[in-house]
Structures are given as structure tokens and as C-alpha cells.
Structure 1
Amino acid sequence: MDLRQQIIDLWQACFGDTEEFVQLYFSTKYSDENTLAIIEDDKVLSALQILPYTMTCWGKKYRASYISGASTWPEYREKGLMSRLIREAFITMRNREIPFSFLIPAEEWLYDYYAKSGYAPVFRKACEVYRDILPADFNVCGNTIGEYYAYFSSRIGERTCCIQHSLDDFKVILQELELAGGKVIAVHNNEKRIRGLAFALFYNNRILVKDWFYDDIAARNELLQLIRREFPKGDIFCDIPATVENNGYKRGMLRIVNVRRILHGYAKAFPQVKHVWRIIDDIIPQNNGIYFISNGKCMQRPDDDKFNTDDIYTVSELAIRLFPISDPPFLSLMLD
């Protein structure tokens, strides 16, 4: 059987993307190795991809898998197939030593659906709206993809907790942006060094900036002028990381696949904290237990009622405890 073609057929039946986007995705992001499927009589009934990413938090880099293309033929839905696949994905991630999984629900009701698998809605974003911007009257120079990426990776790497993008992924981001009629826009200093970068497109009578970076307010204002010159009509809506002052709205969900690994990183990052936590995970039994966090270390013991714990958390509650709404992780420029 041709697994790839069957996955394409299922994708097109479920998502309704353009042929150009499907071709881009399956020529750049898809691989059989990262695809999980339920197959009966040589027919793919349900499938998903686990795409490799890196997530930075607490000053470290962690491997993370993005659940993409989760889909089931309509006649086979409500039979528990996707829940089976997600559980299989967790086993695969643990075998590959991937401690985080994340996803972006396509519809609001799916937040409750994925919560049943231990995902928590900790990713958030805010939005800034700009109006009455005059177009730029200055010329700009072009850059290579390598120059764009060098600036992009340095700036996104400065974010406290964020999904990162490799160079290969960045190239796909630019291709997808072009397919959607968008543009990457940059401003420079006198030495032609990039001072600001924006990923913008026109959608539903507004200009969407899917992410942007700038060195200072002057660079931000120049970016806005160039965005206005490229897209003359509509208010400019710019996605930005959420803050304490503007905690924004839900952007995606995170699942801790390996609690011990993540709590060890948390303990090292905050050596002054001391906790005794009981963690409950109904899907990944290896995560269950009592966790002693002290002096920069984390020890796991089997669950035992003899220990007095500070708190009891489900695995999704633990994610909310570690990544609170006051300091949420951020993700942008996903192919969603």
C-alpha cells in the first residue's frame, strides 16, 4: 500500500487545504517515520504526524513533538481511534526521549477533547493593533534566506519560553507565507544589517503579522510603514507573546510526556524551590509517583500514601503550574 498517498487523501478529505499547501507540506514536513496510522485491510482509517521541534524554557533546550494532521475518516469517527493514536504517539515520544508534546486545536471544542489526553492550554498570545499608518517613502535592500534566518533565530532565541524553528523549517515558513500571498519584510541600518523583521499577509480584510521582531521603536515604526506600503488597506494586527499586563488568549496546548525529565530541568533552573508533589497521569503510568524537588535536584518515588505532599497534580495541572498564565510559553509561524 502507498501510505503517503493514503495520508494525503485523508488530509484533503478532512482539512480542505489547497493543492499547493498540501504539496508543500508533504514535500517538506511529511515522513513515514514520523507518521502513525491505524490501518485495516490496507486502508488508513486514522492518522497523525509527530513533527520534531525544539522548545526553550528555563534557559535550556528540550525536544518537543508537534501533533500535526490528526485526522480520521468521517465514517470511522467516535470509535476511539484518535485516542489510540495519541497514546501510541506518547510511547513513541518516550522511546525517542522527547519530553514535550504540543498541538494547536483547529476548533474551540477540541481543547476539551485533547485535555482528556493530558494536554493543557498553556500557550498564549496577545495582539497589538495599529491604524492610521502612513506607507514608507524609503527604499530597502534585499537579504538572503540565511541573513533573514540569522536575525530571526537570534531574536526568537531570546524569548524565555518558546517553540524554536530550524533553518529548514524557516524555509518552509517562507514558502507557506508566499503561498498565502504574504511577505517577509525587513528594515536595515546604514550597513544593511537587519534591524527588524515581520511576517505579514492580508486576510479577511485585515493585515495579519504572524510574528515580528525589531531592535527598537524606530525599527518597529519603519516595519509598520513597510507593511502599510505592501498592504494598503486594513488595520494591522500583530501577534506578540502574552505578558502579565496583556495575557491575551489561548494559542495551543502542551503535554508533558516525561515528567521526571521536565521536573529535573525545573529543579536545576530554580535550586531555591522545595516541593513534594504527587503527580497523576492516567495515560503514561511511568509519570505517576511522588516527586521530591530540592537543592536543584528532582527524585521520583513510587506513589505512597505515607508521604505528605505539598500538592497533588494531574499531568495537565502540572503543566499549568509550571507554565502559568502570568508567564506563558509562546509559539508562532506554525503551518496551522
Structure 2
Amino acid sequence: MNEIRTLRQEELLESFALSEFAFQYELTAEEKTERISSTDPNQTWGYFIDGNMAAKLTLLNFRTWINGKSFAMGGIAGVATWPEYRRNGMVGQLLVQMLKTMREQGQTISFLAPFKFEFYRKYGWETYVDYLKYEIPVDKLPKFKAAEGSSIIRVAKSEEVLNPIYAKFAKAYNGMMERDADWWNNRYMKFKKGTAAVYTNAQGEQRGYVFYQVKDSVATIHELVFLDEEARRGLWKFLADHDSMITKVEVKAPVDDQLPFLVHDPKFKQEKITYFSARIVDVEAFLTEYVYEARDQVETIYLQISDAHADWNQGVFRLQFTDNGKAAIVTKLAEAEIPPEDQILGCNIQTLTALFMGYQKAGFMARIERLQGSDELVSRLEHAIPRRTTYLADFF
């Protein structure tokens, strides 16, 4: 008998064993004991054959920022299958079940880190974020000056100190996690060693921080957060003042980062890395929550969405804009209400996700034939979606 369900407490060790095998690591007895006490078995789903766990994944409850608004997000992690059961569609069935579960839980968007982008695209997930990775030799570190009256103080790795700064930074990007105390203390800082330092301006306002580790003459920057240009320059000066003990700095940054233009010699290693995938779980609920671009002329937009794995998303949706275009009343239309084809934009769920996350523009998606409709309708949709850079500083 085949069965998909959440785990029981006594099945957690088997789940850990599958993860160890699939992701090639080993837990100590102490680590297993700790994980058993901190893991909710109801968050892990298994595919069982005759009572034996064949595949599993974990569905985590998160929140993410999109256009400055917090959305409930289902984070999918720990997807694994024993080799003797692979290529039988079990993970696909688990993912379809997760779509139903996330919808029931009010999670209108989902993120995951794909082992293979092509595989998850089959189930509606699409690339939504890239990041830049810099490797800067010590002689090419920025030569910035500190602002008069500013200071940088090393602090304890504290959620109470860092999160207020992080939250302001995160809201400016689409796809950043809204971190709670549990994430900061038990996931983020628990597994990263190093030092935190906070930048304070002359007015006494904390405007940035850096969390980093120096080891083997390399400064690894876990996170560099700044709320203005002054804080950026102050933090980089602080890092450059480590020059006597390091040979290089390694750091990642959003794709809109302009550091190479600001430094005296931008010829250092710069790599663009494609990272996470996203998927709209519930089109009607997500588009209703969404914050649109304010504009004087407010029109109606009709979207025909195809979604092979979530029938509630399949159909034509009408977006009637209100509040100077910043909000929309979203309605899934009955067949008799559907307007003529020349009034409709059509796409699949992956394209819709890439557009509304802000990762791609409607004009580009139309040019590559992933968005169907007239130039006027494409332009109308593009002007309705705010322009924001996507970023994700976390991993799960």
C-alpha cells in the first residue's frame, strides 16, 4: 500500500538517516538527540510503501517580503528518496500534496533550493533570484573614509540588536525572509562562527552591520547589511582595516550591488550565481495580497493561467485595480464571464511567478513567447508590477 502522510515521532530517525545518505553527511548521536527534540514531525511528509519510508520532504512555515509586504511562504527542504525507489514519481506526488497543504495553510508563495532547476520547473517552480559573489584581494579592498562622528562597535550575535537593521534592509528586496527569533538563534547564528559589528552614524542611529569570520587569512562575510551609502562605506573601511591579518575578503551581495564601480580597482573575481526557485501556490489569493505600482490611469487586466498541478489556478482571472492602482480585486471568472481572446494575457504558473516576484519583465517574457497577448496588454501588465530587485540572504 502506498501512502503520503506526515511523520510520527518514532520515524524521525529514519528521516535523518535518509537525509544523511542523500546529502552525504553524518550526524553524531548527540546531534541526532538534539534534532529529535527540536524537530516537529508534522512538518516532514513521507511517501511510504508498505509502511516503509521511500521518500520525504519538509514543509517549513516562513514569511517573505514582496514589494514591502509580508507574505506567508512555504519553504520546501530536505527532499530525498532512497535510490531503490527513485524515478517512480514519488517526489512529484509529494510536491503536489504540498501545494494543497500550503493553500490550506494560507501560504500563497513557496520557495525551494533546487538540486536541478529543470526538475522543479515541471511542477511549477521557477528561478526567482541570483546573487553576486565577490572575492576581493586585500590590496583591492575599498579605500573609503569614515564619516565624522560615526562609530563601529563589535557586539554579541544578538537577534535583538541585528534584526531591526536587517528587517529594514530585507523589506527593500523581493524574496527576503522575515526572520523571527527562532530563525536567528537556532538556525542562522547557531551554525555560523564569527564576529558581529554594528555601524552607528553621528546621530546615534544604527544603520548597518557586518557578521564575519576571519580564518586562515580569509575574511568570510556571512552578511553585510547597510541602509545607506554612509553605512556601506563605514563598514567596508572597518573590513579594510583588517588588512594586516587577511589576504582576501569573500562576500555575497544582491545583483544590484554597485561596489565594483565604487572601488579604485574593480578587477577582482565577480561571479553571478543563480540561487532559489519560487512558485505561486494560490493565484487568486496571492494577486489579491500583492501591492501594485501606483498610477493615474487604472485599467482592468485579464490573465489566463495554466497550471498542470493546481487546478484552482487554472483559468482566467480578472484584476480590477483600486487605490490608485496599488491594490486589486481579483476574481476567477466563470466560463460565461471570460472576455474575448484579444483582451487576455496568457502564461503558465512559472512565468506568472517570475513576473510578480520582479525577476523578469513582461516585455521580455513576451519576446521569448512565454507571455501571450497584445503589446498594449503586455505594457499594461509591466507598468502594474513594481520594479524591485530579488534577493535571498538565507538558505534552508
- 1:286 counterpart = 2:299: no
Aligned sequence identity (%): 16
**Does structure 2 conserve the Cα–Cα contact (< 8 Å) formed by 1:99 and 1:259?**
yes
Structure 2: gaps spanning 5 or more residues:
1-7, 144-150, 261-270, 322-327, 362-387
Runs of 4+ in structure 1 deviating by more than 6 angstroms, as ranges, are: 202-205, 244-247
- Give the alignment of 1:150-189 within 5 angstroms: 150-171=164-185, 172-178=187-193, 182-188=194-200
The corresponding residue for 2:375 is: none
Per the TM alignment, residue 155 of structure 1 is displaced from its structure 2 partner at its CA by 2.7
For the pair 1:10 / 2:18, whether they are aligned, the reply is yes
- Offset at residue 227 of structure 1 (A): 4.3
The residue aligned with 2:210 is 198
Change (3 A) 1:298 1:281: same
Q: Partner of 2:330 in structure 1?
A: 298
| Shift, 1:57, TM fit | 1.4
Cα deviation 1:204-227 (Å, max 9, x = unaligned):
996443432124445334433554
State the distance in 1 between where 2:207 and 2:317 align. 45
Q: Paired residue for 2:354, among 309, 317, 320?
A: 320
Deviations 1:49-83 (A, max 9, x none): 11111112133211001111001111111111111
1:85 aligns with 2:94: yes
Asked if 2 retains the 8 angstrom alpha-carbon contact of 1:30 and 1:49, the reply is no
Is 1:224 aligned with 2:230?
no
CA shift in 2, pair 1:193/1:67, >3 Å: same
| Among 84, 101, 105, the residue aligned to 1:96 | 105
In structure 1, list runs of 5 or more residues that go unmatched: none
Q: 1:150 to 1:244 in 2, by over 3 A?
A: closer
1:207 to 1:73, Cα distance in 2 relative to 1, 3 A: farther
After TM superposition, give the deviation of residue 265 of structure 1 in Å: 2.8
1:4 & 1:87 partners in 2: Cα distance?
22
Partner letter of residue 308 of structure 2? D
Find the partner of 2:53 among 44, 69, 87: 44
Contact 1:174 1:184 (C-alpha < 8 Å) held by counterparts: no
Name the SS for the 1:211 alignment partner: strand
Query: Higher Cα Rg: structure 1 or 2?
Result: 2
1:206–1:235: 8 Å Cα contact kept in structure 2? yes
Are the counterparts in 1 of residues 69 and 291 from structure 2 also a CA contact under 8 Å?
no
CA contact (8 A) 1:29 1:51 kept: no
Alignment of 1:76 onto 2:77: no
Match of 1:125 among 131, 139, 160: 131
What is the TM-score when the length of structure 1 is the normalising length?
A: 0.83
Change (3 A) 1:306 1:139: closer
Question: What TM-score comes out, normalization by structure 2 length?
Answer: 0.71
